[in-house]
Amino acid sequence: MKRRELLTAGAALCGAFAACAAARQTGRAAGDQTPDQPAPYMWPYEEVDPDEAADYAYALYPEGRCMYSAFRAVVELAGRARCAAHPEEKHYWEQFPYHMMFYGRVGVHNFGSLCGVLNGCAAAISLLVPDHKTAAAMTSELFGFYESTPLPIYTPKESPFTEMEQSVADSVLCHVSLCRWTAASGAEVESPRRGERCTRLSADGVRKTVELLNRWRRSRDSEQACAFAALGEPAASCVECHSGDGPRKDVRVKMNCSACHDDISDDHGK
């Protein structure tokens, strides 16, 4: 690398560090952090209307699909609410690189893995909730809702589709969730109807996420404990045996096991 290029790169890096330092002045001092400690609270959450957030996620979907619309709807609306009371924070709320969330579409660049709605909502929770254990509990309830609830529920004010078939995903994976819905609806995977289904699903995930965030925010302000839903069945029973605390000690998982392990016999574990 030439000397001029080295100096230019160094100046850019210093500028990035300076921007991060300026943003951190609005939150708590970082101190020595470990993975189990709360991160610096740079992005304080302000309450958002769940229905407004759902509508915004639905409107954003065509710009960048599931993960982008889910994450941006939650964070941008929380940022607007925060900036109304704290305009000095406006510079970094309004410059968030939302385009980074494009990668989550169709289970991470079409790999069909974690649903982009869940990926985006979980990222928003991790950004806005400083305590990692609380964020994990909140995310667990969100994922359980997604796995076990007939979706989509959301109905837009205007849409070419008046009725939309529902399905229970039984999984957090895009591939499984989508296959469950195409089987229930009879629609092709590349059809406009499937696209509308995923658009509405983004709105459902965002509404649930905002409800969880609002519950947490109110409990924190009132200094009351905030509980989130426990792990559901059959995952809870599977984890009891197979997790690090169980006799088998061979998995680390919270997702619904039966979505893939449907060949488990009735006498399993006896």
Q: Phi, psi (5° rounding) for residue 105?
A: -65, 140
Note whether 171 and 177 are within 8 A (CB): yes
Tell me what the pLDDT averaged over the chain comes to: 84
Residue 102: is its pLDDT beyond 90? yes
Provide mean pLDDT across the span 56-70: 98
Provide mean pLDDT across the span 84-102: 93
Distance CA 96, CA 42 (A): 13
Taking only the tens place, the pLDDT of each residue in 49-59 is 999 999 999 99
Taking only the tens place, the pLDDT of each residue in 110-163 is 999 999 999 999 999 999 999 999 999 999 999 999 999 999 999 999 999 988
Nearest to 124 by CA among 210, 27, 247, 217: 210
Residue 2 has, within 13 A of its CA and on its CB side, a CA count of: 3
Structure tokens at 198: 């995923």
Distance CA 150, CA 142 (A): 14
Residue 7: is its pLDDT beyond 50? no
Provide Rg for the chain, Cα atoms: 21
Task: State residue 200's pLDDT score.
Answer: 98
Task: State residue 224's pLDDT score.
Answer: 81
For 109-236, strand residue ranges (E) read: none
Structure tokens at 219: 């409990």
Distance CA 144, CA 142 (A): 5
Question: Of all residues in the chain, what percent carry a pLDDT higher than 90?
Answer: 63
Task: State residue 245's pLDDT score.
Answer: 75
Residue 176: is its pLDDT beyond 80? yes
